[in-house]
Amino acid sequence: MTTQELVDQIEKKKSFLCVGLDVDLEKIPAHLLEAEDPIFEFNKAIIDATHDLAVAYKPNIAFFETYGVKGWESLKKTIDYLNDNYPDIFTIADAKRGDIGNTATRYAKAFFEDLAFDSITVAPYMGSDSVEPFLEFEDKHAILLALTSNKGAFDFQTNEIDGEALYKKVLKTSSTYQNNDRLMYVVGATKAEYFTEIRKIIPESFLLVPGVGAQGGDLHAVCKNGMNDQVGLLINSSRGIIYAGNGTDFASKAREKALALQQDMQVILEAR
């Protein structure tokens, strides 16, 4: 998907919501456990209940890998279901990959060609030759971890090297990579006070922003400091939406949570 197509979706739906699919068999409603593929059935119900309110879905790959081959089958069914039924939706494989060039190419082919995701999260630590292979695919995007939502982000990312915070170096250096127009960045909602500085370095780029809801990040603060002319934000909520209920009405409960976020976003968009 092109960035412009994503922007068009945001305008049409008045939403920049990304629903995170972090499916845990210990948390999903008991009645689904009788299904042949409970993970897929759960995802399908969540997607069907929220697709008009969200512009992106982000399956976190760990939650599928943990179930081995069955988990990968559920992931494949989930991405195929999204692509077949809701082709306008932007899809993110939250896989946080990063390795030397030839290995990075294999990761990129796995997630962009076999699984047909629009984007994948990538760790920047190994540098240009570990990131650029992901940027060789037309209309696909690498979403680089810049300033993450967790407290461990302060271990390295905000530390200064030669007078500049590491996360700023990541933003600046990656902006020189081949096909850098296909780059997006992860910045945590729990780090709202950093968005103004971040926007000075990468004014145009889309930011994937996890950390609202369960991690306590503030949507309004993020939007105030981080929104650009094209909105430029994908706000992710995973547990706060998908586990809003755990009875037979779990999907409508998830919709209620997604609707509340979308309505907040609509107000923010209309006030711009």
Ligand X SMILES: O=c1ccn([C@@H]2O[C@H](COP(=O)(O)O)[C@@H](O)[C@H]2O)c(=O)[nH]1
Exposure on the CB side of residue 255, measured as CA atoms within 13 A: 12
> Considering the complex, what minimum distance in angstroms separates the CB of residue 242 from ligand X?
8
Q: Name the residue nearer to ligand X (CB basis): 43 or 238.
A: 238
Q: Name the residue nearer to ligand X (CB basis): 10 or 93.
A: 93
Q: Which of residues 44-63 bind ligand X (CB under 6 A)?
A: 60
State the distance between the two ends of the chain, measured CA to CA, in whole angstroms. 26
Estimate to the nearest angstrom the gap between the alpha carbon of 89 and the chain centroid: 12
| Angstrom distance (rounded) from CA 38 to CA 6 | 30
Q: Name the residue nearer to ligand X (CB basis): 130 or 238.
A: 238
> Considering the complex, what minimum distance in angstroms separates the CB of residue 89 from ligand X?
17
| Angstrom distance (rounded) from CA 46 to CA 40 | 10
Q: Name the residue nearer to ligand X (CB basis): 12 or 207.
A: 207
Pick the binder of ligand X from 5, 8, 22, 48 (CB under 6 A).
22
| Angstrom distance (rounded) from CA 99 to CA 95 | 12
Q: Which of residues 98-137 bind ligand X (CB under 6 A)?
A: none
Q: Name the residue nearer to ligand X (CB basis): 43 or 237.
A: 237
Q: Name the residue nearer to ligand X (CB basis): 148 or 174.
A: 148
Catalytic residue among 14, 76, 77, 96: 96
Q: Is 149 in the site for ligand X (CB under 6 A)?
A: yes
> Considering the complex, what minimum distance in angstroms separates the CB of residue 153 from ligand X?
7
Q: Is 9 in the site for ligand X (CB under 6 A)?
A: no
> Considering the complex, what minimum distance in angstroms separates the CB of residue 90 from ligand X?
15
Q: Is 29 in the site for ligand X (CB under 6 A)?
A: no
Asked if 172 is an active-site residue, the reply is: no
> Considering the complex, what minimum distance in angstroms separates the CB of residue 170 from ligand X?
13
Phi, psi torsion values for 131, nearest 5 degrees: -105, -40
Q: Is 157 in the site for ligand X (CB under 6 A)?
A: no
Other C-beta atoms lying within 10 Å of the C-beta of residue 163: 5
> Considering the complex, what minimum distance in angstroms separates the CB of residue 45 from ligand X?
18
Pick the binder of ligand X from 38, 71, 133, 188 (CB under 6 A).
188
- Residue 204-243 contact track with ligand X, rule CB under 6 A, x = bound: ------xx-xxx--------------------xxxxx---
Which positions are annotated as active-site residues?
96
**Interface with ligand X by CB under 6 A: which residues?**
20, 22, 60, 94, 148-150, 186, 188, 210-211, 213-215, 236-240
